[in-house]
Amino acid sequence: MRKVGTALGCLLILLWCLLPVAWIVSLSFKSQTAITNGSPGFLPASGDSAGWQNYKDVLDNEQFRRAIFNSIGISLIATALSVIIATLAAYAIARLEFKGKKFVLTTALVIAMFPVVSLVGPLFDMWRAFGLYDTWPGLIIPYMSFTLPLAIWTLSAFFREIPWEMEQAAQVDGATSWQAFRKVIVPLAAPGVFTAAILTFFFAWNDFVFGISLTSTERARPIPAALSFFVGADPFNRPASLLAAGAVVSTIPIIIIVLIFPAQDRRRPHLRRSEGLSRGFHRDEEHRQEVR
Amino acid sequence: MTTLAEAPQRRQEREVHVSDRAKAETRLGQRLVAPAIILMLVVTAFPMLRALYLSLFNYSLTAPEDRDFVGLSNYLTALTDPLFWKTTGVTVLYMVVTVSIELVIGFAFAMVMHRVIFARGVIRTSILIPYGIITVVSGFAWQFAFSFQNGFINNWLPFIDSDFNWFGQTTPAVIAICVSEIWKTTPFMSLLLLAGLAQVSEDMIEAAKVDGATWWQRLWRVILPNMRAAIMVAVLFRALDAYRIFDNIFVMTAGAVNTESISFLTYRQTIEQFQLGIGSALSVLLFLSVLVIAGLIVKVFRVDLAAARQEG
């Protein structure tokens, strides 16, 4: 009885997660005429399928290509820089005693709660004065500072779990301190850094408010903003199937990351704690499973 | 004799040494956190102070020379305008509806994920998909799904006419926006709740079972009270996030038929209409209301905690 319930629950979760994705993929293969004729149903009808035409049109669109390029570049740079800075801070928070530690953690928490829109006005004004408006750094800087809190909290929770004595043990065994750090601590810390990087990338790739407010041309406009401006004047006559194809294309990097994530996790079975976004809390659960 | 005389001296040396080390540690720690703290303050604290300053001026980017000091009159204008209260009301509605539904569904999902042993990876991977997908994309997906021209929802719901326009009136449009928001963020809620669920001791649940507690009693008396911290964190994060709802509304209705949120109003004033003065006042009000909500949630859960203690 219980097993049936759990299986049913799993099915519901999968349906919940994948149904809208299946719908947008299906929409992306419909022809524009099928859509304007009205109510074409969930799946593309056999005669009305557009094949890969929508995808070809999207990838041929200069604005769209540029937006993807912007998004990839901006998100990757913001992720790399944010993770480096967060790693330094998290290491200090987890391992050192120093004045101002509480201040850092509180600031990070307050910023995590910050309504992004309330900063857009003054940033718009400031970035225009500094020449950062409509440039890559103009988006990278806000993305970095808004992902730092989550990255710092995730990483410092992770670093606290690392048995730092192992570093000394390796040194006793004859390794230099650099070797000890590289061979022992870096592999242990890597999954945590990876988790923080994913969260940062998700944020940067997802951002919309900064994307539409701090850019005005194709120079720096990221993909979510480009998609929303692809709409045209009449919100009720959007090129639905074309937009759906664009939406699917913009989701591919996320799918790749989501698929790499558990693989990365499985490679380090001794650090299963990095599983899921809620890692750091799983210790009890795993302990229980080991006991079983 | 000599050892006795030397001992205090040595201790003193060690103390000096320790405090030197402590100082060096403080210096190193502060240096390591400096880039993060500077960056966070440059992008948040400084613009917020600037917003506070600009909110005291009548300042429009279309006429920058006419900028003049008006004191608190921007706040007065905002707070006496029915539009402000209407958008605040809608925003609170979005927040209450989405967070309460997400709490229930997210908890159910967390219970399932907690029990699942087979296909664990598949479930956790797929639950990351709605979380990772761009909000704009999920907004489009749901907008097209609800559309009477190219959607399927009207066909699937038996009690709805096939040509019903969800985006023509406030209530259906708000429902559509909430559905999109709930779909997107329930996974986040359930992952946080799953973490909390993992912290509830299995022994306690077993003990309650032995004592003859029903499933319902175990849920309300053992599981939920022990998850209070996790539930609070989940509700707090989601509520603050829902209060600044923007992307879905922008994509699905562009603020038409009274679906505009307070974030949307602020965006429209500052970026579209270049009214930096009144826009900054709205920014400050938005920030203050987020603080109030955070305070309220923390307070509510604390009261709950005391009540539960008396009950037990």
pLDDT in tens, A122-180: 888 889 999 999 999 999 999 999 899 989 988 888 888 888 888 888 888 888 888 88
Round to whole Å and give the CA distance between A211 and B28. Answer: 36
- The angle subtended at Cα B12 by Cα B10 and Cα B14, nearest 5°, is 70
Q: Which of B112, B129, B188 sits opposite A21 (nearest CB)?
A: B129
B29 contacts A35? CB cut-off 8 A: no
Which residues of chain A neighbour B121 with C-beta distances below 8 Å?
262
Q: CB contact, 8 Å: A13 with chain B?
A: yes
Contact yes or no for A193/A155 (Cβ under 8 A): yes
**pLDDT for residue B191 is more than 70:** yes
A121 contacts B283? CB cut-off 8 A: yes
**A225-230 contacts: CB < 8 A, separation 24 or more?**
A225/A67, A226/A63, A226/A64, A226/A66, A226/A67, A227/A67, A227/B134, A227/B136, A227/B137, A227/B140, A228/B136, A228/B250, A228/B251, A230/A63, A230/A64
A228 contacts B183? CB cut-off 8 A: no
Distances in whole angstroms, Cα of residue B244 to Cα of each of A119, A211, B77, B252 = 12, 16, 21, 16
Which residues of chain A neighbour B30 with C-beta distances below 8 Å?
92, 98-100
- pLDDT in the model for residue B99: 96
The nearest alpha carbon in chain A to B136 belongs to: A224
At B69 the three-state DSSP class reads strand
B28 contacts A208? CB cut-off 8 A: no
For testing contact with chain A, the best of B18, B105, B150 (most A CBs within 10 A)? B150
Which residues of chain B neighbour A126 with C-beta distances below 8 Å?
46-47, 50
**pLDDT for residue A37 is more than 70:** no
Burial B164-186 (b: 16+ CB within 10 A, else e): eebbeeeebbbebbbbbbbbbbb
Residue with more model confidence, B216 or A283? B216
Round to whole Å and give the CA distance between B142 and B135. Answer: 11
The mean predicted confidence, pLDDT, of chain A is: 81
- pLDDT in the model for residue B184: 93
B136 contacts A227? CB cut-off 8 A: yes
- Mean pLDDT value across residues A92-121: 87
Cβ contacts below 8 Å, chain A against chain B, sum to: 316
pLDDT digits over A249-270, tens only?
A: 999 988 888 777 655 554 444 4
Report the CATH fold assignment for B81-273.
Answer: MetI-like fold (1.10.3720)
| Maximum mean pLDDT: which of A269-273, A275-279, B63-67 | B63-67
Neighbours of A128 (CB within 10 A): 14
CA distance B32 to chain A (A): 5
Q: Chain-centre distance of CA A90, in angstroms?
A: 20
Which residues of chain A neighbour B27 with C-beta distances below 8 Å?
98
Neighbours of A163 (CB within 10 A): 10
**pLDDT for residue B176 is more than 90:** yes
Which value, in Å, is the radius of gyration of the alpha carbons in chain A? 23
Element (H, E) at B57: strand B57-58
Round to whole Å and give the CA distance between B108 and B193. Answer: 10
**pLDDT for residue B7 is more than 90:** no
pLDDT digits over B244-279, tens only?
A: 999 999 999 888 888 999 999 999 988 888 888 889
Instruction: Calculate what percentage of chain B has a pLDDT beyond 90.
Output: 31
Q: CB contact, 8 Å: A131 with chain B?
A: no
Residues 6+ apart with CB under 8 A from B147: A240, B166, B167
Element (H, E) at B99: helix B82-115
A209 contacts B246? CB cut-off 8 A: yes
What's the one-letter identity of residue B142?
W
Q: Which of B22, B32, B144 sits opposite A97 (nearest CB)?
A: B22
- Mean pLDDT value across residues B159-166: 84
Instruction: Calculate what percentage of chain A has a pLDDT beyond 90.
Output: 25
B40 contacts A145? CB cut-off 8 A: yes
**pLDDT for residue A102 is more than 70:** yes
What's the one-letter identity of residue A139?
L
**pLDDT for residue A87 is more than 80:** yes
pLDDT digits over B107-147, tens only?
A: 999 999 888 877 777 888 888 888 889 999 999 999 989 98
**pLDDT for residue B10 is more than 80:** no
| Maximum mean pLDDT: which of B49-53, B57-61, B104-108, B225-229 | B104-108
Q: Which of B174, B178, B188 is nearest to B238 (CA)?
A: B188
Torsion of CA B62, A229, A75, A123, to 10 degrees: 10
- pLDDT in the model for residue B101: 96
- pLDDT in the model for residue A47: 60
Length of chain B: 312
Burial B15-37 (b: 16+ CB within 10 A, else e): eeeeeeeeeebbeebbebbbbbb
Which value, in Å, is the radius of gyration of the alpha carbons in chain B? 27
- Mean pLDDT value across residues B26-54: 90
Reported as a pLDDT band with limits 50, 70 and 90, residue B192 is confident
Which residues of chain B neighbour A30 with C-beta distances below 8 Å?
150
CA distance A198 to chain B (A): 10
- pLDDT in the model for residue A263: 56
